[in-house]
Amino acid sequence: MLKLLKQRFPDTPAPEATDEPDAAEAVAALAETEAVNEMRKALSEIARDLGALGLVIADATGVVEESSSSAHQLSDTFDELSAAASEVRATNESISQSCSETVAATATAGEAVSGSRQTLETALTRIEGLIGAVGNINEQLQGLQSALGSVREVADAIDAIARQTNLLALNATIEAARAGEAGKGFAVVASEVKALAGETSSATEQIASTLSELDSEADKLVLLGNQAIEYTGEVNESAGSLGASMAEIERSIEEIEVSSRAIEENVAGNEERLSHFGERIDAMHAALDANVSQLGTCAGEMFGALYSTDKMVGLAATSGIETGDTKFVKIILEMADEVTRRFEEAIANSQIREAELFDYSYKPIPGTDPEQVMAPFTPLTDRVLPDLQEAILERDKNIVFCAAIDINGYLPTHNKKFSKPQGDDPVWNAANCRNRRIFNDRVGLAAGQNTKKFLLQTYRRDMGGGKFVLMKDISAPVHIAGRHWGGVRMGYKA
């Protein structure tokens, strides 16, 4: 700054010598006054330029801060993307393993089905042989039935002869009896013939009975043979269908194996692509993290430059040189004194206890968005601050707001235009319902926690919905009974 002043105010030539001391002194005094006025004018211009620079830095800092925030969010997104890629790779590996297991299982199943199909074909051949054998047995049984019929015919003929012989023997016996002694020998023969005929008749009856039983059993065997032929025919038909199904299953298994091998090959290709993708994500993530770090460093440096600029502007405003900020410094100091007086008066009049004024326990107001809260001292600020804060707004058209805040940035009672009831739109609420809110951002906390005579800050005011307004914020601390309660804030257009 001294270098700048020397450039703007080069050494003024000394006044010409005069024999009149009073005139020389007057000339020197006039020159000094002009130099001082020029210096004040220069300092005022410097302060104005610093204020303008502060606005530029504040805007740039806000943009950098937003970029840093966006970069952090993008970094988080990369983290999620990297995690998702890892999960996909893990899933891909699981699919690959499953495909390998499927290929092995289908190969084993294919071999088993092939073996079963061969076994079934062998069984079909044997069943066909069995059907032929049962058919032959049935034909033989039918031949046996024919032979039994012939035997029955012969037995019937023998029985008829036996009956006839018995009748003849009876007649011979009668005739022998008539012959007397002469026919005794014949009678014995007749008796023997009769006995033989009886035995023959009994034998034929036994043969007939046995033949009947054989015939009955042969009928049963023929019936069973026919049923066996029918059943084996059905079994052969079912086995043939089963064989066709087994062949279809074998073809399906082969197709599954082919498809599984194709999937396995594609999964292997995906694994390679995913590996490259993961490497690229990691590289981009690393580059982004480096940019985030650089943005953070840049933002910190810009905050430092902004703080220094605001500090110089504040010093110029209180150095006796009239600047654009001098008026607002005076107003905020007056406001801080008045708020302090009103709070102390409220404590003296038992409107509130000191412990309640310093009770920073906040209770959320249900259903508010953005969230609003109440503190034990909020009813007091609603009573004693509105008229003061509204009167401050009337003192300069550039003043946008003024309000008291505690050390945590909590603003209990705002100006009327910023204390509207909340609606359904959070963006509208953020811009119009700013009372009962905690503003714990960088500017809000600094204003509430500042203990110096005043603090000048240049910043971008968040109006919600991504809208920002470049503002200057000046604040002064409020002390009650030697304790730092918070401060008063005033925002005005730069």
- Cα angle, residue 59 at apex, residues 318 and 302 outer, rounded to 5°: 75
pTM of this prediction exceeds 0.85: no
Strand-strand pairing, 467-480 and 363-364:
unpaired
Mean pLDDT for each 10-residue chunk of the chain (494 residues)? 43 46 62 59 57 58 62 70 71 71 70 69 70 70 68 71 72 73 67 71 75 72 71 66 69 72 72 70 70 62 58 57 82 96 97 96 96 98 97 95 97 97 94 95 93 87 69 93 96 86
Q: Tell me, what's the pLDDT at 356?
A: 97
Where does 322-493 sit in CATH, by number?
A: 3.30.450.20
Q: Tell me, what's the pLDDT at 2?
A: 39
Q: For the chain, what are the domain ranges?
A: 85-285, 322-493
Distance CA(377)–CA(478), nearest Å, equals 15
**Closest by CA position to 99, among listed 249, 251, 270, 267:** 267
Separation of CA 119 from chain center: 52
Q: Do domains 85-285 and 322-493 have the same CATH topology?
A: no
DSSP assignments along 442-468, one per residue: HHHHHHHH--SS-EEEEEEEEEETTEE
Six-digit token string for 129: 């042989």
Only one residue has tokens 């005739």, namely: 175
Q: Tell me, what's the pLDDT at 261?
A: 74
**Closest by CA position to 460, among listed 49, 55, 70:** 55
CATH 1.10.3720.10 corresponds to the domain 85-285: no
Give SS3 for 472: strand
Q: Tell me, what's the pLDDT at 224?
A: 72
The residue type at 31: A
Q: Tell me, what's the pLDDT at 46?
A: 61
Q: Is 210 exposed, middle or buried (0-12, 13-18, 19+ CB in 10 A)?
A: middle
Report CA Rg, the chain. Answer: 62
Q: Tell me, what's the pLDDT at 157?
A: 72
